[in-house]
Amino acid sequence: MNKEIIKCRRTDDSCVHVKHKSGLDIYICKMEGFSTIEALFGTKYGSINTMFKTSEDKEYTTVPEGIAHFLEHKLFENEDCDVFELYAKTGANANAFTSFDKTCYIFSCSKNYAESLKILLDFVQKPYFTKESVDKEQGIIGQEIRMCDDNPEWRVFFNLLGCLYENHPVKIDIAGTVESIAKIDADLLYKCYNTFYNLNNMVLSIAGNIDVDDVLKICDECLVPCENKGLETVFKEEPDKLVSSYHVENQPVGKPLFNIGYKCTSGTLAENNRASSELYIAAGVLLDSSSPLYRKLLSDGLINADFGFECFYGDGYSTLIISGESSEPEKVRDAVSEAFENAKANGINKEDFERVKKSAYGSMIRELNNVEAVANLMINSSMEGVGPYDAVEILSDMTVQDAVSRLQKDIRADRMALSVVREQVTDK
Amino acid sequence: MTYNRSEISDSIGFSEIIDCKFKTNLLKINFITELTADTAAENAVAAGILATSNSNFKTFTELNAKLAALYGSAIYAEAKKRGDVQILSLCASWLDNRYALENEDITAEMLELFSDCIFSPNAKNDAFDTDSFNIRKKDVLDKIDSEINNKRSYAISQASKIAYSGEPAEFSCYGEKETAMRVTEKSSFEAYKKLLANARIEILFVTAQHNADVAEKLSGSFSSLVRNEINKCALTSQSAIKDEIAEVTQQLDVNQSKMVMVFKSLSDDYTALKLLSTVYGETPFSKLFANVREKLSLCYYCASNYVKSKNTMFVDCGVEKDNIDKARTEIINQLDEIKNGNFSDEDIENTLMSIQNSLSAIGDVPSSYTGWYFGRFCEGDCRTPDEVFSDYKAVTRERIMNAAASMKLDTVYVMAQKEVQD
């Protein structure tokens, strides 16, 4: 088995990558001095993958919204017992999550990692769905959906995506709706499982207090080789323009919440990754807590410490999202837009750019000193088709011109939307 | 890892925790003071301002520009409560000098910056600078207003207010809106001076290698303070159990109802009480998860949490309005099951493994060390996670049953989906 050692030449960090004979990509990072182990076994299957086919299918299959998340819940039950009961015997803390483009099964522990790893690899490869167990889960997930509906941060975010995207399923809630999950049955779950839970479409990432060879030995024992079935996922064509530039939802909230979003050009995942690095630094110069705009918005009482921004991207979508709390989010939007247009026309200050780069470099060093963050970094980068330490290199090589060009390419006032959640104003 | 605690004075402690695996440093200064309706907000504002500016970096922007240039170093404030006590913390985090690209002495610069924030704030004539004050006052007011945004934590907070009515723990660590509105540049500066003079101060420093400069600098600054009589705060205090269960329902325009049940105990077998709560509802194989969620499909979450500082156990769940009574019955039923001994030795063993797993993870991030050793300070010892785990291992089935039997339902708070009127 060929063990590829991947090194970060600027920090001396390293990890091992193995393309396992089963088809699985395995990333292992031994971290000296740490007690814990974090393992993620993930598939490139999330809420956006609602239309797909393999080389065995003639036609594309379309499945109900929320099925990837439903499948994640159901995989925790195997034929004999609940998977949590198995982990209970090792002491590991087990969990899972479904995002827009991936589903990951996780455990963290400080003892008995070999046993926990065997449980992880075993249960994810052994689906067991019945009508009864599917019906039972409708109630639990129904409550999860309702809980999210009461989360104003969640609502303001999805309302923004609804403004930005007309066709791309990123606009759909990860858990689907009570109505959409009612259409899910055991056969559909098996169809999705057999399509996406193919080891050629999956990644194992494990970091912390482990032994590389022991991990690989367990993988040899537990992984069942898969034939690559040429999975294709597709999305309806997405226009450049917005659906809407403004959306307000009323909820019981103390302070109005806002998300300002720019719909950016989307390329391959690796291209989106690089573009986001450039955009994040450029946005940092204009919006972070050392920027003149931040100071002005703060002094004018338009934002508070919750103000922030992120690049949110994936397969077929790429955005810059600025979020916070404000009584006058429209004024924040206008000020942000003006700052971006000004930077596109006049560039950004080199000293500010270097300062933001240094700050981002510091964040990356911190990330590499955290077991959970390293395990997540390895699986995320692998699924995006880049190396785990590429971000450090991209950052080091980035120039002011790269950042300004990115602003000029991706930031357009006519592709900016504002989403607000505020308390309903009633006339007295 | 090495841990050393020394005393700068009889009410100021300094702990250095050295662990060579870390690439960052964390310095945390905790001010421990009484939680009162009158002082909570001004203390929170005062601590917040200290992280906003100092006499050399007079604006938030200037300070943050400097921190960004120091590889994204951070200075921030936290306000928390622990039982009847308010804890105001000032924290600084920075990269170890080994990772400086241009050989900067990040540690020395951060020590100077942080020290100025505490001992040389941006103030004159016994009042904080108005800009810095306005930023932090607004933050505190917004935090109070925004509490309702997170429905789960809001429900728990409402239940706390009812359960601890008449005790300091009923107040939020940010205070109430009315008192926060009245805080001024002068009153918050006065609160800052009182914290320096009267609060118990506990400093924790996590670093990759021993650094005498940090202890020396802080020791010099803190020992020169004029200290008055120190606040004698009870870090653990028994909450009185109500004669009748307090039942409060609040109608809100929400999609999912929330229920919080507060149980109180008079037992002093704290280790057994914590173990009880873990068996009952703190893991995915606990009684509440297995029955209320998995068996009856009533909730997405239904969990317990034991608060030792008030000898109280919270159970909270998100549930359809029509199922509230059903969930309440099952939550009580599962506690009765434990009280009656209807749980296996395997349940105990698995719970112990889960606790051991959590305790063994302490030390993998710098903040876990500061959390652990500050917690130990509050408990009055400096035991290691292994030593504490040995207490859990000694708990018998009978002690868990007795702990369950000692739990009395004190408060039930329900956030109910508002009725739709035709």
Closest approach of chain A CAs to the CA of B87, in angstroms? Answer: 20
Of B149, B293, B365, the CB nearest to A152: B149
Expressed as residue numbers, the domain containing B270 is: 246-417
Residue B229 domain flag = no
Segment 55-84 of chain B within 8 Å of chain A by CB: 59-62, 64-65, 67-73
Of A141, A325, A356, the CB nearest to B142: A325
**CB pair distance less than 8 Å for A366 and B144:** no
Nearest to A335 by CA among A290, A310, A303: A303
Q: What is the mean pLDDT of residues A189-210?
A: 97
Give me Rg for the CA atoms of chain A.
Answer: 23
Q: Residue A391 — very low, low, confident or very high, per pLDDT cuts 50/70/90? A: very high
Tell me the pLDDT tens digit for each residue of A352-390. Answer: 999 999 999 999 999 999 999 999 999 999 999 999 999
Residue B280 domain flag = yes
Give me Rg for the CA atoms of chain B.
Answer: 23
Q: Residue A67 — very low, low, confident or very high, per pLDDT cuts 50/70/90? A: very high
pLDDT at position A428 is 42
Of B135, B146, B256, the CB nearest to A325: B146
Tokens 């992984």, residue located: A223
Q: Are B231 and B198 in contact (CB under 8 A)?
A: yes
Residue B101 domain flag = yes
Mutant choice from A112, A298, A361, A426 vs B, greatest count of B C-beta within 10 A: A298
Asked if B104 reaches chain A (Cβ–Cβ under 8 Å), the answer is no
DSSP B357: H
pLDDT at position A427 is 52
DSSP B290: I
In total, the C-beta contacts within 8 angstroms joining chain A to chain B are: 190
Contacts of A255 in chain B (CB under 8 A): 142, 145-146, 149
How many distinct structural domains can be found in chain B?
2
**Last residue within a domain, chosen from B223, B256, B276:** B223
Q: What is the mean pLDDT of residues A196-221?
A: 97
Of B99, B147, B256, the CB nearest to A150: B256
Q: Which of A38, A65, A72, A278 is catalytic?
A: A72
Contacts of A324 in chain B (CB under 8 A): none
Asked if B283 reaches chain A (Cβ–Cβ under 8 Å), the answer is yes
pLDDT at position B422 is 46
Percent of chain A with pLDDT over 70: 99
Residue B92 domain flag = yes
**CB pair distance less than 8 Å for B61 and A291:** yes
Whole-number Å distance between alpha carbons of A210 and A31: 8
Strand order in the sheet with A246-250: A246-250, A416-422, A257-263, A317-325, A308-314
Q: How far, rounded to the nearest angstrom, does the alpha carbon of residue B38 sit from its chain's CA centroid?
A: 20
**CB pair distance less than 8 Å for B298 and A295:** no
- Examine the domain organization and report whether B253 and B144 are in the same domain: no
Q: What is the mean pLDDT of residues B138-162?
A: 96
Residue B164 domain flag = yes
Q: What is the mean pLDDT of residues B81-107?
A: 96
In chain A, CATH 3.30.830.10 sits at 3-233, 246-422
Q: Find the distance separating the first CA and the last CA of chain B, reported in whole Å.
A: 66
- Examine the domain organization and report whether B171 and B270 are in the same domain: no
- Examine the domain organization and report whether B74 and B148 are in the same domain: yes
**CB pair distance less than 8 Å for A147 and B358:** no
CATH code at A246-422:
3.30.830.10
Helices (H) and strands (E) in chain B, counts: 15, 13
pLDDT at position A339 is 98
Closest approach of chain A CAs to the CA of B230, in angstroms? Answer: 32
Closest approach of chain A CAs to the CA of B140, in angstroms? Answer: 9
Asked if B254 reaches chain A (Cβ–Cβ under 8 Å), the answer is yes
Whole-number Å distance between alpha carbons of A3 and A26: 10
Q: At what angle do helices B270-281 and B397-406 cross, to 10 degrees?
A: 90
Of A140, A252, A298, the CB nearest to B297: A140
Contacts of A251 in chain B (CB under 8 A): 253
Which residue spans within A10-115 are E strands per DSSP? 14-19, 25-30, 37-43, 51-53, 61-62, 93-98, 103-109
**CB pair distance less than 8 Å for A290 and B256:** no
Q: Write down the ipTM of this complex.
A: 0.92
Asked if B151 reaches chain A (Cβ–Cβ under 8 Å), the answer is yes
Nearest CA in chain A to B254: A150
Q: Are B128 and B60 in contact (CB under 8 A)?
A: no
Q: Are A207 and A375 in contact (CB under 8 A)?
A: yes
Residue B155 domain flag = yes
In the annotation, is A4 catalytic? no
Q: Residue B233 — very low, low, confident or very high, per pLDDT cuts 50/70/90? A: confident
- Examine the domain organization and report whether B46 and B130 are in the same domain: yes
Tokens linked to A332: 């924040």
Contacts of A257 in chain B (CB under 8 A): 149
- Tell me the torsion sign for CA atoms A323, A324, A329, A332: negative
pLDDT at position B229 is 86
How many alpha carbons lie under 13 Å from residue A422 in its C-beta half-sphere?
18
CATH number for the domain including B377? 3.30.830.10
- Examine the domain organization and report whether B407 and B265 are in the same domain: yes
Segment 2-31 of chain B within 8 Å of chain A by CB: 19-24
- Examine the domain organization and report whether B184 and B303 are in the same domain: no
| Residue with the larger pLDDT of the pair B333 and B233 | B333
Kindly tell me if the per-residue pLDDT of A76 is higher than 50. Answer: yes
pLDDT at position B143 is 95
**CB pair distance less than 8 Å for A89 and B353:** yes
Q: Are A94 and B283 in contact (CB under 8 A)?
A: no
DSSP B311: T
- Examine the domain organization and report whether B270 and B354 are in the same domain: yes
Q: Are B279 and B400 in contact (CB under 8 A)?
A: yes
Tell me the pLDDT tens digit for each residue of A112-154. Answer: 999 999 999 999 999 999 999 999 899 899 999 999 999 999 9
> By three-state DSSP, how is residue A77 classified?
strand
- A13: which residues sit within 8 A by CB, 6+ positions away? A7, A29, A368, A389
Whole-number Å distance between alpha carbons of A174 and B214: 48
Interior CA angle at A370 toward A369 and A371, to 5°?
125
Residue B380 domain flag = yes
- A172: which residues sit within 8 A by CB, 6+ positions away? A47, A48, A50, A65, A66
Options 3.30.830.10, 3.20.20.70, 3.40.50.2000, 3.40.220.10; which CATH number does A3-233 get? 3.30.830.10
- Examine the domain organization and report whether B174 and B58 are in the same domain: yes
Parallel/antiparallel/unpaired status of strands A416-422 and A246-250: parallel
Kindly tell me if the per-residue pLDDT of B421 is higher than 60. Answer: no
**CB pair distance less than 8 Å for A36 and B360:** yes
